[in-house]
Amino acid sequence: MAKRVAVVVSQGQSHHPAKRQLEEEIVASLLGESSVDVTVIPHLYDLKPDGSAILCLQGIAQELIVLSWMFPRATRWILGRYGVLGQEGASLLDQPSDDAEDEEAEIPEPSAELQDALPRVIESIEIPKRKIYCLNLANAKEPSVFVDEIRRIVTEAQVQPLQPIDWLQGKPKPEQVKRMLDPAPGNVEHQGSGNGSVTDPQHDPANVIEETTERRWYPVIDMSRCTNCMECIDFCLFGVYGIDQADTILVEQPDNCRKGCPACSRVCPENAILFPQHKTPAIAGSGDATEAIKIDLSKLFGSPDVDAVEMAVRERDEQLLIAGRETVGDAVGIASRSASHAAGDADDLDRLIDQLDALDL
Ligand code: SF4
Ligand code: SF4
């Protein structure tokens, strides 16, 4: 029997009607498919660590597709934080357009020597063979784009191809979907710890995880970049970071993080710290190469912008003041970073000049 693929839809934080409609239409279409198990959860980032949604995610062992309103890197490492791991599945939705591809081809990748200079934490983690695909719901407005991509992934995962249903046929009626995403008493079968499923005899049921959530704000570490250098734990004065039994960095007290503060993401030398809800794409997890080169160019030509470490120090001081504590400026937690930063400037410039040479401007 063909494997089934788990599809998890993480709902938007804002309950924006357009967002909710996209989620509903995707789920409605998937209910007619035979090779997927659909689960709807509240916003992934806001979930309680011991809540039923996380337990559900931890119980999924097969190929997993997660749709959320976040960059895939953020989704992947929020899941990773809860031990929901797998090989990284590539989505066509994240591929640049042909035009963009041409432009990106002009930007040289960092040399392998630079990338491999330090071991990454991911190398010490045992990653299961199953794949996890993270799709950003902000990538398209049409539900069919996501449904088609899910079908492609299911085929790629070498499971029984999905039934070729017409996009507009076989969908549950809108009111059925409405009941499914906003389950009222009587429409949901309760299953122990708050899980529900819709009992529509025409279609496979979708699990709807009911969980009350509040908006959270905490750093997420991308372990494929993190080198365990401990700069973040030295810098943060709010007790957010800790180390595990293997002396590996972890976000131990996430809810100690100061709402809106992204300071430590600016001091991490590997850009491994994400704040998925931050307005700046590079901090929210875009992983955009053009963003990186912009930073390098500002170093060469003298940007009026404040240096990243300086900005982080200011942001940390602001939070200390709000918390009724003394400011510390750059006297605490950035010594090693500053030293390497200063020494690194020359290296960065050399690297940038090599990059510009390669561009043959
Ligand atoms: S500063 Fe960045 S690379 Fe260093 S331990 Fe923290 S997250 Fe990892
Ligand atoms: S953002 Fe600020 S408060 Fe939050 S972990 Fe980083 S330094 Fe600490």
Tens digit of pLDDT for each residue in 99-134? Answer: 444 433 333 444 555 556 789 999 999 999 999 999
User: Is residue 104 in some structural domain?
Assistant: no
Domain boundary among 152, 182, 209: 209
Q: Indicate whether 56 and 200 sit together in one domain.
A: yes
66: which residues sit within 8 A by CB, 6+ positions away?
Answer: 7, 8, 10, 44, 75, 79, 132, 133, 134, 135
Q: Indicate whether 205 and 339 sit together in one domain.
A: no
**Residue 314 φ then ψ, to 5°:** -60, -45
- Interval between CA 292 and ligand 2 midpoint (Å): 22
Q: Indicate whether 68 and 163 sit together in one domain.
A: yes
Q: Indicate whether 174 and 234 sit together in one domain.
A: no
User: Is residue 140 in some structural domain?
Assistant: yes
Q: Indicate whether 329 and 203 sit together in one domain.
A: no
User: Is residue 245 in some structural domain?
Assistant: yes
Q: Indicate whether 244 and 198 sit together in one domain.
A: no
Reply yes or no on whether the pLDDT at 52 is more than 80.
Answer: yes
Reply yes or no on whether the pLDDT at 172 is more than 50.
Answer: no
- Closest residue by Cα to atom 8, ligand 1, is 226
pLDDT score recorded for residue 210: 87
Q: Indicate whether 320 and 194 sit together in one domain.
A: no
User: Is residue 93 in some structural domain?
Assistant: no
Most confident of 32-41, 68-77, 155-164: 68-77
- Closest residue by Cα to atom 4, ligand 2, is 257
Q: Indicate whether 36 and 172 sit together in one domain.
A: yes
User: Is residue 165 in some structural domain?
Assistant: yes
- pLDDT, tens digit, 9 for 90 and up, residues 207-240: 899 899 999 999 999 999 999 999 999 999 999 9
Q: Indicate whether 205 and 228 sit together in one domain.
A: no
Domain boundary among 180, 209, 238: 209
Structural domain harbouring 253: 220-359
- Closest residue by Cα to atom 7, ligand 2, is 236
Is the shortest distance between the CB of 221 and ligand 2 below 6 Å?
no
Atom of ligand 1 nearest to the CA of 222: 7
User: Is residue 175 in some structural domain?
Assistant: yes
Q: Indicate whether 141 and 253 sit together in one domain.
A: no
Q: Indicate whether 264 and 192 sit together in one domain.
A: no
pLDDT score recorded for residue 204: 57
User: Is residue 272 in some structural domain?
Assistant: yes
pLDDT score recorded for residue 194: 40
- pLDDT, tens digit, 9 for 90 and up, residues 14-33: 889 999 999 999 999 998 78
pLDDT score recorded for residue 306: 62
Domain boundary among 175, 209, 243: 209
- Interval between CA 227 and ligand 2 midpoint (Å): 18
Q: Indicate whether 226 and 177 sit together in one domain.
A: no
**Residue 38 φ then ψ, to 5°:** -105, 135
Out of 123-137, 168-182, 270-284, 332-346, pick the least confident. Answer: 168-182
How many structural domains does the chain have?
Answer: 2
Out of 59-73, 200-214, 292-306, pick the least confident. Answer: 292-306
Compute the mean pLDDT over every residue in the chain, rounded to the nearest whole number. Answer: 79
- Interval between CA 245 and ligand 2 midpoint (Å): 22
User: Is residue 115 in some structural domain?
Assistant: no
Reply yes or no on whether the pLDDT at 51 is more than 50.
Answer: yes
- pTM equals 0.79
